[in-house]
Amino acid sequence: ALYLRGLKQGDTQMTASGVVIAALFFFLSQAKPVPGISAEKPTNSIFATSVIVSLLGQFVVHFTCLLAVLYTCEKYVSSDDFSLTPDGKFQPNVINSSIFLLSALMQVNNFVINYRGHPFTQSITENTMLWRSVQVLYSLLLIVAGGQFEPINDLLQMAPFPSPQFQAYLLGILIFNFAACYGVEKWSQKLEV
């Protein structure tokens, strides 16, 4: 659906996203188990109610945020804009820049929110490489969304955002995405038996 609306991401955006995901997976794999055996048992199936509720709940949050960003951005791009042709060359615009920010945040959120840690492995703060990298990534995403450092936005092929109100709304959606997904995960953990 996004492709048919002409949404594309630039080569630099895709490369940065791929490198970040690979690094996060590597840092995730470096988590050490806790020294002793826990009295708490992990879920007995990947199809446990808590897992399904968390997965579906986070999907709904991500999908809602994508729609909110998409519909907000459409006000700032005309329908005859050549950057929106599905098979055309990538050209930065408000839509693809905003969706890139949101999708990057959703990827980082998936690592942070779904990281279980104790009582089976190190907590996320004890996994120093993962913890520091997500702190840097969240900071970079906030800087890019706020437009405080233009060279990063230029490097990531970002279009300038139309107004401070738009940026505030986009930041609100980014924060909502994290908070809602975190809430869904914590609530679904209470369903574990």
Instruction: Split the chain (193 residues) into runs of 10 and give each run's mean pLDDT.
Output: 76 93 94 80 81 94 94 80 73 88 95 86 91 95 88 89 91 96 93 73
Residue 193 pLDDT: 60
pTM score above 0.85: yes
Residue 89 pLDDT: 81
- Of 67, 92, 97, 89, nearest to 176 by C-alpha is 67
Distance, in Å, from the CA atom of 19 to the CA atom of 66, rounded to the nearest integer, reads: 23
Distance, in Å, from the CA atom of 81 to the CA atom of 74, rounded to the nearest integer, reads: 11
Long-range contacts of 132-141 (CB under 8 A, 24+ apart): 133/23, 133/24, 133/27, 134/24, 134/108, 137/20, 137/104, 137/108, 138/108, 141/101, 141/104, 141/105, 141/108, 141/174
